[in-house]
Structure 1
Amino acid sequence: MSGEINWLELPAADTARARTFYGGLFGWSTSEFSENYHVIDNGPAGAIAPGGDGFTHPRVYFAADDVDAAVKRVHELGGTSEEVQPVPGVGRIAHCHDDQGVPFSLFEPAPRS
């Protein structure tokens, strides 16, 4: 369903330390998805990821049935977005800002076979 929060990413300068912290706080375990990107196994749908320039706070992804249409609507409403990016085998994402500069992301899952 469009608009539901369907993923989150927690940025960390040291992902191993972050995994230890959140594991100790919430009992989460993680699995490595790609280098230094760890999916949360037993918590919210999301991951602990390397932080960096512009990625210093949790990133929330909202479901989009059609990410291209959603990005177009973001622009019509005064927001901004980066280019839509494919995530092979997973879907498509777009990092955006609303009309007040608040960051969020959109996620369109890959079609199921």
Structure 2
Amino acid sequence: MADNGTASTGTISWTEIPAQDLASAQTFYGTVFGWEFSTTSVGDGSKPEVILFSKGPTHGSLVKVEKENHLSPAMHPDNPEKKRIAVRVTITVKNVDETLETVKKAGGAVYLPPREIGNNMGRIAYFTDSEKNVMGIWSAA
């Protein structure tokens, strides 16, 4: 953050996570990462299409999408070796292995297993959430 309380130029200020089932995605991220949520309506306001989330300096939204508009390498039929990738968000955690266990209990799955990052930069793994989005987790140790 800049000194005046606004986001610094060049920093990521918002993350939107697509979801076909907003309630499922909200439960998943609340369980795994302790995110807090508030619902807002877009369009005619008849049903929630966006759920805002926050935790500390992290802010964003779960955005309702239809199946045909949901792009995810985990859902791509021609991606058996998990080589197709899209933009991925990586979330800092205390312990990658423990968080992956929580991910699985909350309805997600391991996408790419944990591995060490060179130069003692920690461990990283990738998972799919309840909506099959591919996300990353990282810990310093």
Query: TM-score normalized by structure 2?
Result: 0.40
| Structure number, greater radius of gyration | 2
